[in-house]
C-alpha cells in the first residue's frame, strides 16, 4: 500500500478506519527527514497490511502542533487509535523493522488496561 499524506481534514478518519498506522512527521527542508524517507518507503512496501502515512509539518502546522512535534523527523505508531510510540529521530532500517515487530506483538488489551489503571490512579489515591 502506498504511503498516504495526512492532513487535518483526513487525520481522524484515517486513524479510526485503520487498526495500525505509522506516521512520519517531516518537512522537505529537513536533511534527516530526506534520509529517512527511503527507509520508510521500503518498510511501507514490505508491510502492505499496515498503513504508512506522512504529515508535512510545514503544510500541516496545526496538526503537528496538536501532537507537540518539536523535532523532525518524528515517527509515531498508532494502534487502535492509541499512540503507542512517538519519538523524534530518523531510524535505520533494522531499528524500524524492530519497532514494527514490537508494535505488532503488543497486547492492546493490556495497553488499554494499563491506560485505564493510570487514569483511575490519577483521579484518586492509589489502591496499593
Per annotation, catalytic residue among 33, 64, 77, 78: 33
Here the cell at position 88 is 523524534
Name the H helices within 1-128: 11-17, 31-46, 61-66, 93-105, 108-123
Select which of 23, 30, 43, 63 is catalytic: 30
In order of 60, 115, 123, the CA distances from 109 in angstroms are 32, 10, 21
**122 vs 119: CA distance, rounded Å:** 5
Catalytic-residue membership of 33: yes
Cα end-to-end span (Å), the chain:
47
Residue 89, Ramachandran bin (φ over 0: left; ψ between -120 and 50: alpha; else beta): left
Please say if 30 is a catalytic residue: yes
> Which residues belong to the active site?
30, 33
Amino acid at each position: 500500500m502506498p504511503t498516504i499524506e495526512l492532513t487535518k481534514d483526513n487525520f481522524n478518519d484515517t486513524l479510526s478506519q485503520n487498526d495500525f498506522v505509522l506516521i512520519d512527521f517531516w518537512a522537505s527542508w529537513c536533511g534527516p527527514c530526506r534520509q529517512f524517507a527511503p527507509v520508510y518507503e521500503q518498510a511501507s512496501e514490505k508491510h502492505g497490511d499496515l498503513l504508512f502515512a506522512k504529515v508535512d509539518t510545514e503544510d500541516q502546522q496545526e496538526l503537528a502542533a496538536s501532537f507537540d512535534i518539536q523535532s523532525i523527523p518524528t515517527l509515531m505508531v498508532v494502534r487502535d487509535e492509541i499512540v503507542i510510540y512517538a519519538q523524534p529521530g530518523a531510524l535505520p532500517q533494522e531499528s524500524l523493522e524492530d519497532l514494527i515487530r514490537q508494535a505488532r506483538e503488543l497486547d492492546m488489551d493490556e495497553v488499554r488496561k494499563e491506560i485505564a489503571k493510570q487514569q483511575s490512579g490519577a483521579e484518586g489515591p492509589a489502591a496499593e
